[in-house]
Amino acid sequence: MRLEELTWPDFEEVKRRVGTVVIPVGSVEAHGKHLPLGTDVFAPVEIARRVEERLRRRGVEVLTAPPVWYGHTFVLDVYPGTINVSGDAFKAYVREIMREFAAEGFRRIVLLNGHGGNYPPLVLAAEEVSEEFPGVEIWLINWWIDFREDILSICSSQGHAGQDETSVMLAVRPELVKMENARGGRRSSRVRVIRKDIGKELFPDGVNDDPSLATAEKGEAILSVVSEKIARLLVGE
Ligand SMILES: [Zn+2]
C-alpha cells in the first residue's frame, strides 16, 4: 500500500488498522562511473516493495511512504551530481516527517536507509521523535550493514558502488548500469579523517570496492534474503 496513491479518507481508514509505516531514505550521489545517482534510493524502495509483498502473503499490512530522496553525503560531495543536504537540515526534515506519522497514530516507523552518511543524523532524529512520542518505536535499517553476513555469503566483497550494490542495481534497474565502466578497489584509513576532499582518496571516482564481479543473480539473491529477513523481523519471527 503506497501512501501517495491513497485519498485522505482511504488514509484515515488505513491508519486505523495499520500500525507500521516504512519510509525508504536515500541520497542522490556519485556511485562510480557505472551506477546512477539515484542508486541509494532505488535499492531501499525495491526492498520496501518486496517486504510489503512478503508481509501481504502472511496477511500483514504495512504502509509504504514515498522515499526521502536527498540525504546527507559529505564525503561524496567532491563528485558532480552529488546533492548534499547538511546533517542539521536533513535531521530536522526527517524528524518532521516522522513526527507527522507519529501524530497520525503510527506506532512503528521503519526508516529503510540506503546510504551510510544518513546514519548519524537519522539516529539523532529518531531519538528526538521517540522522546516526544514515548509510545512510538523507530527502526533504523541499514540493509547493507544489518544483513552484511548474508550479503557476504552471496558476494565476495561489498562497498560503495561495489559488488553488492552493483549487483542489486543489476537486478532492479539493469538498463541504468554501465558494467563496461565498473571498476574500483577497496580503500580505508586507520582512523576516521574528515577533510573537505577526503572523498577523492577514499572513493576514487566514487567507488570503494571492486564492482566487476557483480551480477543480477547476486542482486536478486541479496534482495530476496534482505526482504525476507526484514519481513520476519516485522512480524516478530
Ligand atoms: Zn550507495
C-alpha span between 1 and 22 (Å, rounded): 10
Give the distance (Å) from ligand 1 centre to CA of residue 140: 16
The residues pairing with 138 across neighbouring beta strands, listed in sequence order, are 109
Give the distance (Å) from ligand 1 centre to CA of residue 59: 32
The pLDDT, as a whole number, for residue 237 is 86
Give the distance (Å) from ligand 1 centre to CA of residue 165: 7
Q: How does the average pLDDT of the chain come out, rounded?
A: 97
- The structural domains of the chain, ordered by start, are 3-231 (3.40.50.10310)
Q: Give the type of residue at 134.
A: P
Which helix (H) or strand (E) is 137 found in, with range? strand 137-142
Extract the residue ranges of the chain whose pLDDT is less than 50.
none
The residues, any chain, with a CB within 8 Å of residue 226's CB and separated by 6 or more, are 47, 143, 147, 150, 151
Give the distance (Å) from ligand 1 centre to CA of residue 160: 5
Give the distance (Å) from ligand 1 centre to CA of residue 52: 22
